[in-house]
Amino acid sequence: MKFEAVTIKDIAKALGLSTSTVSRALRDSYEISPETKKLVLEYAEKINYHPNPIALSLKERRSRSIGVIVCEIANSFFSQTINGIESIANNNGYNVIISQSRESADRELLNLQYLTSRSVDGLIISVSTETKDLSYFRELHDRGMPIVFFDRIVDEIETHKVIVDNFKGAYDATTHLIKCGYKRIATVCNAAVLSIAKERLAGYKAALTDNGMEINEALIKYCQHGGMITDEVEEAVQELFKARQKPDAIFASADKLTTGCLRILKAKGLSVPDDIGLIGFSNSELTELLDPPLSIIKQPAFEMGEIATSLLLQLIESKRPVTDFETRVLSTELLIRESTKKQKQKAKEIAS
């Protein structure tokens, strides 16, 4: 049941050399004669030798691999980000180890410990909704582990970060709803502790006040598990409709929440956009095929992954400790489709 590979010793024995000589020949050291090198190289090729990365990791204390922690890969935004991460990482000879926190702080910590104990050279992280205790991150960071946060970042730890302008994204989306003539605009957002939730909520509120509209706390609902639990979204929407002032539009501030809201609204027999408008953050490729096609705020996920990885590799390969960190802020894209097109609006369009 074991699986044994050919080692440097096998080569040494076969060729009557020492392991050091073989090792040096393989790494093209100047102290090895051309003939010996040729001999070793050819034999290594012949028996299909590959250096054992585990032994290397143990010795070098590095693994040429980077760890990624996201809440779930099934989310389009994250899978796209991962593709961006892999593209840069692989081009630079790094491997990517992906792990999911499933919005649980415990699993996040477990994954974190697993990855670090596996000697990943760096980490790219979007924290879970539950994450409160930052001590482990901090310890890691203090001990010199290169970390880049993206999407859901933590302010308290100073390192490179990659995000989008969540405030503006939410502001634009809300403003769009207002322009469409919606009056009682609700929002369904992630747990309030999350950076993205805070920023998007702030954008939503600012858009309302800037347009002379009141902020009604009854129209703001939080989903602690980021929509991982369907009931949670349903509950949020139901509560929204239990209120005295029923909403006529919803701004959903995360991928799962956006499609989650649509699902519930349709189940309730409400017509989008006529009974209720809907817009939200989403990176799903299916949103334009939905009924109705969803107006969305889209993040440059692939690019975010690329940038995060470049920054991480910079940290990893830097000779001396980096103290000058940057936060890259990218732009979101507002895609206007049917789900925010009120009848009135439609009529106007036809008339014009």
* Footprint of DNA (CB under 7 A): 4-5, 7-9, 16-21, 23-24, 26-27, 30-36, 49-52, 55-56, 58-61
Residue 55 buriedness (CB in 10 A; 0-12 / 13-18 / 19+): exposed
State in angstroms the smallest separation of the CB of 284 from a second copy.
7
How far apart, in Å, are the Cα atoms of 291 and each of 128, 284, 337, 339?
30, 14, 11, 8
Residues 6+ apart with CB under 8 A from 275: 248, 265
Question: In the complex with DNA, which residue's Cβ is closer, 5 or 110?
Answer: 5
DSSP string for residues in 127-181: --TT----HHHHHHHHTT--EEEESS--TTS-SEEEEE-HHHHHHHHHHHHHHTT
Distance separating alpha carbons of residues 64 and 307, to the nearest angstrom: 18
Task: List the single partner that 351 binds among a second copy, DNA, none, CB under 5 to 8 Å by kind.
Answer: none
State in angstroms the smallest separation of the CB of 88 from DNA.
24
Task: List the single partner that 269 binds among DNA, a second copy, none, CB under 5 to 8 Å by kind.
Answer: none
Question: In the complex with a second copy, which residue's Cβ is closer, 197 or 278?
Answer: 278
How far apart, in Å, are the Cα atoms of 329 and each of 271, 309, 311?
36, 15, 13
Task: List the single partner that 17 binds among a second copy, DNA, none, CB under 5 to 8 Å by kind.
Answer: DNA
Task: List the single partner that 324 binds among DNA, a second copy, none, CB under 5 to 8 Å by kind.
Answer: none
Task: List the single partner that 104 binds among a second copy, DNA, none, CB under 5 to 8 Å by kind.
Answer: none
Task: List the single partner that 1 binds among DNA, a second copy, none, CB under 5 to 8 Å by kind.
Answer: a second copy
Residues 6+ apart with CB under 8 A from 281: 169, 173, 200, 252, 253, 254, 255, 257, 258, 296, 297, 298, 299, 332
State in angstroms the smallest separation of the CB of 218 from a second copy.
27
State in angstroms the smallest separation of the CB of 298 from DNA.
44
Instruction: Note the residues at the interface with a second copy (CB under 8 A).
Output: 1-5, 50, 52-55, 57-58, 61, 63, 72-74, 76, 79-80, 82-83, 86, 95-100, 113-114, 116-119, 140, 143-146, 259, 262-263, 266, 284-286, 289-293, 316, 318-321
Question: In the complex with DNA, which residue's Cβ is closer, 15 or 193?
Answer: 15
Task: List the single partner that 178 binds among DNA, a second copy, none, CB under 5 to 8 Å by kind.
Answer: none
Question: In the complex with a second copy, which residue's Cβ is closer, 3 or 30?
Answer: 3
Place of tokens 């400790």: 321
State in angstroms the smallest separation of the CB of 113 from a second copy.
7
Distance separating alpha carbons of residues 111 and 115, to the nearest angstrom: 6
State in angstroms the smallest separation of the CB of 99 from DNA.
21
State in angstroms the smallest separation of the CB of 34 from DNA.
6
Positive or negative, the CA dihedral 129, 132, 136, 141 is: positive
Q: Quick check: 200 and 169 in contact, CB under 8 A?
A: yes
Q: How long is the chain?
A: 352
Phi/psi zone of residue 15: left (φ > 0), alpha (ψ -120 to 50 degrees), beta? alpha
Question: In the complex with a second copy, which residue's Cβ is closer, 140 or 196?
Answer: 140
Question: In the complex with DNA, which residue's Cβ is closer, 44 or 220?
Answer: 44
